[in-house]
């Protein structure tokens, strides 16, 4: 499994042939073989947030769908090389590395070329090509903690709800933003130990692919969301 992403209570990844494989609560729109409403096509990449998943279908093609069931088509900007789901739309990178979001966020999209983009509820973060630092925009207000990422440098980036995480040069996860449950309490652990090459984070849980190819999951497992299906390599 080379790509992995988390929705509200589910994890989805792409198998070696690009087929989605999902696990989590049985009623959350996944059945162990793919997401309800997912396109019947092989995907080249996967990004998720809240109850939305997005994937690349070609060099500049992207598609998004709701993982809780079929619904109206989600707005996806055209001509993208990478796409990330927000709560009600998508952000992506154009061929020149510049970001674009649909619908637009509360702050203008930065002009700096980026190599990776992640998006959450009303915000997006991008990994700058020049210095591998992270910049975030949008948010509820200028003091939103999601707008203050750690200095980096980083090699990969994901975002979810009001938080974001990135893999630094040593393979460690660093996270920032708002990590609160429905009762306003912190959700630990959000910086799990290990050397990661890919990961996905959801509401109080996450899973990552370690450097040795195994899966490591942490956090809330009340509905099986942190328990990969049998047959996948564990730590």
pLDDT of residue 107: 85
Helical H segments across 85-138, by residue range: none
- Tell me the range of 47-56, 75-84, 117-126, 189-198 where mean pLDDT is highest: 117-126
pLDDT higher at 99 or 89:
99
Is residue 75 a contact partner of residue 62, using CB atoms and an 8 Å limit?
A: no
pLDDT digits (tens, 9 = 90+) for 212-227: 888 888 777 777 777 7
pLDDT of residue 135: 95
Residue 205 located in a structural domain: yes
pLDDT of residue 82: 82
Residue 104 located in a structural domain: yes
Is residue 144 a contact partner of residue 164, using CB atoms and an 8 Å limit?
A: no
Quick one: what percent of the chain has pLDDT higher than 70? 63
Residue 234 located in a structural domain: no
Long-range contacts: 228-231, Cβ < 8 Å, 24+? Answer: 228/11, 228/23, 229/21, 229/23, 229/32
Cα separation of 48 and 147, whole Å? Answer: 20
Whether pLDDT at 57 is above 50: yes
Token pair 């980026």: residue? 114
Residue 62 located in a structural domain: yes
**Which structural domain range is residue 135 located in?**
3-219
Cα separation of 89 and 85, whole Å? Answer: 6
126's CB contacts (< 8 A; 6+ apart) are 93, 99, 110, 112, 114, 116, 117, 118, 134, 135, 136, 157
146 phi and psi angles, rounded to 5 deg: -65, -20
Residue 180 located in a structural domain: yes
Residue 87 located in a structural domain: yes
Whether pLDDT at 35 is above 50: no
- What is the domain-level CATH number for residue 125? 2.130.10.30
pLDDT of residue 164: 86
Residue 233 located in a structural domain: no
Residue 225 located in a structural domain: no
How many domains does the chain divide into? 1
Is residue 157 a contact partner of residue 142, using CB atoms and an 8 Å limit?
A: no
Whether pLDDT at 129 is above 90: yes
């Amino acid at each position: 499994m080379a790509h992995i992403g988390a929705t509200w209570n589910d994890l989805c990844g792409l198998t070696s042939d690009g087929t989605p494989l999902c696990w989590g609560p049985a009623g959350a729109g996944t059945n162990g073989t793919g997401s309800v409403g997912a396109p019947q096509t092989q995907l080249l990449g996967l990004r998720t947030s809240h109850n939305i998943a997005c994937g690349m279908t070609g060099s500049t093609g992207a598609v998004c769908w709701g993982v809780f069931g079929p619904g109206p088509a989600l707005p996806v900007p055209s001509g993208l090389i990478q796409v990330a789901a927000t709560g009600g739309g998508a952000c992506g990178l154009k061929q020149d590395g510049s970001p674009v979001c649909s619908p637009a966020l509360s702050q203008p999209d930065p002009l700096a070329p980026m190599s990776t983009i992640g998006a959450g509820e009303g915000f997006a973060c991008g990994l700058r090509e020049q210095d591998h630092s992270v910049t975030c925009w949008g948010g509820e207000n200028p003091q939103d903690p999601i707008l203050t990422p750690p200095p980096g440098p980083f090699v990969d980036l994901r975002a979810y709800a009001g938080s974001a995480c990135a893999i630094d040069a040593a393979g460690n996860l660093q996270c920032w933003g708002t990590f609160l449950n429905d009762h306003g309490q912190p959700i630990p652990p959000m910086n799990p130990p290990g050397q990661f090459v890919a990961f996905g984070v959801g509401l109080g849980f996450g899973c990552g692919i370690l450097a040795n190819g195994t899966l490591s999951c942490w956090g809330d497992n009340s509905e099986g969301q942190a328990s990969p299906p049998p047959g996948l390599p564990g730590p």
